[in-house]
Chain A
Amino acid sequence: MSILKYFHTLRPKKTAAVAKERLQIIVAHERNLRDSPVIEYLPELQQELLAVVRKYTAIQDEDIKINIEKDGECEILELNITLSDENQ
């Protein structure tokens, strides 16, 4: 059978294998979204934080990043604000 197998690997990937690979990626991604906690006030929180920081220094909307991760029982709120050099 090893010769058959060898020729098998030379052939281009069959569509079922492509389907499986694509499904594994999308399903894992969607499960992640599903399992991460939905916090409805997140966009609003982001806007308000942005406003507070702007009182002191000029930053762009994309300079603030909020991320929520679940680590077992623990939810971690990660907040990243990038200050540009010219404003410091």
Chain B
Amino acid sequence: MAKIIVVTSGKGGVGKTTTSAAFATGLALRGSQTVVIDFDVGLRNLDLVMGCERRVVYDFVNVINGEGNLNQALIKDKRVENLFILPASQTRDKDALTLKGVAKVLETLKKRFEFIICDSPAGIEHGAIMAMYFADEAIVVTNPEVSSVRDSDRIIGMLSSKTRRAVQNLPAIKEHLLITRYAPKRVNSGDMLSVEDVQEILAIPFLGVIPESQSVLQASNSGVPVTLDKKSDAGQAYLDVVARFLGEEPPVREKKGFLTRLFKN
């Protein structure tokens, strides 16, 4: 049975697209048929992060409007088997997505893919609702920072009220907390919210933590999902997240300094 997973956050710039690209790539590396859809109509960027921007011919909105078929719009990743990208339209406005249109595309994709990752736009408007509406599970991407945590809470509220599962009284969307841009040093010095703090405030099940890392910018610079960079700590953390998502239990890696380890009570 295909699973639809929305990657959402409310706040912009916290790492939704990075996460969508890395997570989808990780799932595909594990052998699952995976497609990642850019829901950010008008501001498409997943194609750039995935490094396939020059291969976009037809997009999500074209498919909904019947101007091109799904197979023409799906871009097959050249590095990873089983991985496909459905780009957003760059020219239309976000209202071009309709519930009916999105439902139809998702139904078709469900027949072919095990995992459908929906990369949500920022905000709480139409585009964000379209991305979350049909989801079975949600990855809530949060930075350990006040505005991001507050916006995540808002999004969690919407997941339990504005989605198909909520409206039709079906079992609730399974939520996962993913903390990104985490700096253990700053947490230890008391200037950054810890994983436990964020978890306690948002009160949804914890999926993982991605360290703040230079390799994330390097990866997007070159259009390579960070999970393909074997030397990257963030990439490794995303692979752990994928493993945990698939029900395995890799340890939570947290690089700690010598002194921290010594003085941890």
Contact = CB atoms under 8 A, between A and B. Distances in A.
Interface of A: 1, 4-5, 14-17, 19-20, 22-24, 26-27, 30-31, 34
Given A16-B191, A23-B150, 4 more contacts: A4-B263, A19-B145, A20-B193, A30-B153
Would you list the 3 A-B pairs with minimal beta carbon distance, nearest first?
A14-B190, A1-B265, A20-B197
Interface string B174-215: 000000000000010111111001001110000000000000
Contact of A16 (B150, B187, B263): B187
B157 A31 contact: yes
Contact of A30 (B154, B192, B197, B263): B154
A31 B203 CA distance: 12
A22 B192 CA distance: 14
Contacts of A23: 146, 149-150, 193, 201
Contact of B153 (A1, A15, A27): A27
A23 B169 CA distance: 30
Most B-side CB within 10 Å, residue of A5, A14, A15, A22: A15
A17 B190 contact: yes
Interface residues of B, number: 21
A19 to B, nearest CB: 5
Nearest to B154: A30
Contacts of B202: 27
B201 A20 contact: yes
A14 to B, nearest CB: 3
A34 B159 CA distance: 12
9 contacts: A14-B189, A14-B190, A14-B191, A16-B187, A16-B192, A23-B150, A27-B150, A27-B202, A30-B154
B194 A16 contact: yes
B154 A19 contact: no
B190 A26 contact: no
B201 A27 contact: yes
A30 B149 CA distance: 13
A5 B265 CA distance: 9
A5 B145 CA distance: 25
Interface string B222-259: 00000000000000000000000000000000000000
Contacts of A14: 189-191
